Amino acid sequence: MNPEYTEVGDFLEDKEDSALAHFFAGILSQIPNEDPQRNGLLKTPKRAASAMQFMTQGYEQDPVQLLTEAIFEEKEFRDMVIVKDIEFYSLCLPSRQLVDAVGGQKHASDIQIGTELYTLHRGQRATTRVVSRLSRKAEELVELTPHHSDGTPGATIRLTPEHPVMTPEGWREAGELRSGGHVEYAPSQENSFVELAEVRRRTAVDREPFTVYSFQCEPYPTFCVDGILTHNCEHHLLPFYGHCHVAYIPTGRIIGLSKIPRLVEVYARRLQVQERLTRQIGQIMNEVLQPRGVAVVMEARHLCMMIRGVEKQHSKTVTSALFGEFHEDRATRAELMNLLRIRST
């Protein structure tokens, strides 16, 4: 489908989805002490359905078509091209944490694309495969120590505060868990819920921020961290927003500059996690243009951390995806970070 932009109002007139509006009406009916029939809420389900369609229109847009319709031959230009500060809005393990990999536990920093991890599917142990891997810095971790069935403490695992963990009530962020609560535990073929003996916060005081890793897995998005079932997913449906910087080094072919912000929007207008969004933009640029290098850096604030959960108002998440010379050559990477005014590591 042609990757053209659609205004919210167009959805109201042309793409009304009565089923989706019905679901939003059901949500309103479950809010305590609220009247979904009052004047101000009568049309809210329809508006909410239209807004959701607008915010997820990226599924109907073809990023390859978007890029290929604006590629130009420019044999003499082979220097770096950067489009900075692209605004976007879109609906993440410490490096030494042990992850339950097939063949034996591995540190998160040693997990690579293609690694098979253990997970649970309908209560049974299954395997899932890592298809993307990204790292970032975090100022705070949550330490969870479960009780074994015999009452002895289990191994402590460390997660970022927003990392989802399965509980009897459903998925909960690690930062919301408390001592005495229960989490799903699957050290072998059978799963059960075990009590948390202790939950502690650990901050990067007087030291460098923690290096943490995120993995996207298929066919199952869940995986076990030292026996505890965890998830990297888009489970809150709350927006994250910020700026995206895209750079590439051409090999005789350049792309119309306006297509780069449009490409960011194609992927941002989907249900996303920042880590995957960063890599998807870089991968498609690399595949279609086949340049000497591509780099994508995203800086974002997440409403799921600001208005709920840990309620941290000033934290910012930075992710990067580097390909070709940006990944292989430190000088090229340092030049990019200097131009972006982001300290290279």
Domain 111-231 belongs to what topology?
Answer: Endonuclease - Pi-scei; Chain A, domain 1 (2.170.16)
Q: Classify burial at 276, counting beta carbons within 10 Å of its beta carbon; exposed 0-12, middle 13-18, buried 19 or more.
A: buried
- Assign 190 a pLDDT band (cuts: 50, 70, 90): low
Q: Give the CATH number of domain 8-52.
A: 1.10.286
Q: What is the pLDDT of residue 9?
A: 43
Q: Which of 235, 283, 327, 335 is catalytic?
A: 235
Most confident of 92-96, 179-183, 238-242: 179-183
Secondary structure letter of residue 167 according to DSSP: E
Known catalytic residue at 272: no
Q: Which of 234, 243, 299, 327 is catalytic?
A: 234
Over residues 164-188, the mean pLDDT reads 81
Q: Give the CATH number of domain 62-91+236-340.
A: 3.30.1130.10
Domain boundaries, the chain: 8-52, 62-91+236-340, 111-231
Known catalytic residue at 216: no
Most confident of 46-60, 81-95, 194-208, 252-266: 252-266
Known catalytic residue at 92: no
Known catalytic residue at 235: yes
Known catalytic residue at 234: yes
Known catalytic residue at 233: yes
Q: What is the pLDDT of residue 59?
A: 79
Q: What is the pLDDT of residue 77?
A: 84
Known catalytic residue at 34: no
Strands (E), the chain: 71-73, 81-90, 98-99, 106-107, 116-121, 124-138, 140-146, 157-159, 164-167, 170-173, 182-185, 192-203, 210-218, 222-225, 228-231, 240-249, 253-255, 293-302, 317-324
Q: What is the pLDDT of residue 91?
A: 52
Q: Which of 105, 176, 231, 304 is catalytic?
A: 304
Task: Calculate what percentage of the chain has a pLDDT beyond 90.
Answer: 18
Q: Is the pLDDT of residue 285 over 90?
A: yes
pLDDT digits (tens, 9 = 90+) for 144-161: 998 866 667 778 888 888
Q: Is the pLDDT of residue 326 over 90?
A: yes
Q: Do domains 8-52 and 111-231 have the same CATH topology?
A: no
Mean pLDDT for the chain?
A: 80
- Assign 238 a pLDDT band (cuts: 50, 70, 90): low
